[in-house]
Amino acid sequence: MSVVQAYRFALDLSPAQQRALAAHAGAARMAYNWGLERVKAVLDQRAAERSYGVCEEELTPAIGWSLPALRRSWNAAKDEVAPWWRDYSKEAYNTGLDALARALTNWAASRSGKRCGRRVGFPRFKSRRRSTPSVRFTTGAIRVEPDRQHVVLPRLGRLKLHESARKLARRLEAGTARILSATVRRDGHRWYVSFTCEVERAQRTPARPCATVGVDLGVRHLAVLSTGEPVPNPRQLEAALRKLRRISRGLSRKVAPDRRTRRDASKRWERVRGQLSRVHLRVANLRCDGLHKLTTRLAATYGTIVIEDLNVAGMLRNRRLARRIADAGFAEIRRHLAYKTQWYGSRLMVADRWYPSSKTCSGCGAVRTKLALSERTFTCTPCGLVLDRDVNAARNLAALAATVAGSGPETLNGRGADRKTPLAGLVAVKRLPGTATAGKTGTVPPQGRTSDHALTPAS
């Protein structure tokens, strides 16, 4: 199985190498800002001409913002706008122009309605202070040295790694991996190199290929499995808040940069800001490590994993829970499971966003009208089931996978994913024979409101 996989390593650089990398990242930022200024000037000119009543045929000619078009424009103007362009790799300028082409394409697609999701705004200019230094190399000498402690990049030469690259080197030597590109990026106080590789992975089978597990994500526990196992929430950000507040108070007392008066930041401000970024980086690394361990264990153990399609953007609007929800990383869990299930031969199923997993009784299938967030114990009046709220939701997710596993009428089960919990006009029906809950009675919404597919395979 051929997959695209990234290998990321920390670098140990000399001051001269750090300056060289920062200069390459600055060249990429300069090319990005140059292209954006050129495109924006033409768009503004055409908008002004339209306001004057100029017909479309007489407007200023539009320019293309695809990567080939931006490259041609840059090659024609680079001797004038950047006479020092020979001092850096051509890949630095290509990095900035490629980022601009992607940003403009996303903006145009979002504006025309071709792109789903939140609306994408017009690209903004990159600042030296606020943007993350980054440069990508796609051609030239890109390799891992035989000692596995150094890498070679175009124009930068031999760079020392902070850790061994033996995992990638073994695959390169065996011929099961091929480097496509290398991206150098600074996060916090350290530079990292990430190799994007085409890797041939062996077909694997999970430890329990016939087992199905439902995963209910939450804040009190990071995840609760249908087996009854709670996964504790480490709350890395909350644990570091005291230190972050102390460093932030010290940062506010230092001389910060001011763009209006063109005042530069003091050395103490730069030093304290570095401390603050290192704390945030440690929190992000600890969170990423915990999520990787959880998702790898699930993908390598169970044949089918069922999760919910959570509206994380809407959940973040709750000011009382926004910080804890962001700290949990729900979207990262789904992203990790999406590709790790392919690696380990398991299957990921995503329940519909409107499926009432918490309000449905996992014993008899009855659906409650209301369930407050403060009610941590689910109590079913018809059958008398008393169960933890999260465990009940996880069991419903696991049962839903078995219900819609087949084809045809099995998908029209009594657990339709409605936008509203049915209140009246419900019809008591018998579960279809052959389903996981055959013989039990339940309720479904009136015909015409039931979702055809409450559960769909993750793409």
Catalytic annotation on 98?
Answer: no
For residue 2, list its beta bridge partners.
Answer: 200
- Return all residues near 211 (Cβ < 8 A) that are at least 6 apart: 301, 302, 303, 304
Catalytic annotation on 49?
Answer: no
Task: Give 344: exposed, middle or buried? Use CB within 10 Å, 0-12, 13-18, 19+.
Answer: buried
Catalytic annotation on 390?
Answer: yes
The active-site residue out of 327, 352, 390, 418 is: 390
The active-site residue out of 91, 98, 187, 308 is: 308
The active-site residue out of 216, 327, 352, 418 is: 216
For residue 456, list its beta bridge partners.
Answer: 350
Q: How far apart are CA 458 and CA 351, in angstroms?
A: 9
Of the candidates 136, 103, 110, the residue with the CA atom closest to the CA atom of residue 32? 103
Q: How far apart are CA 192 and CA 296, in angstroms?
A: 23
Which residues are tagged catalytic?
216, 308, 390
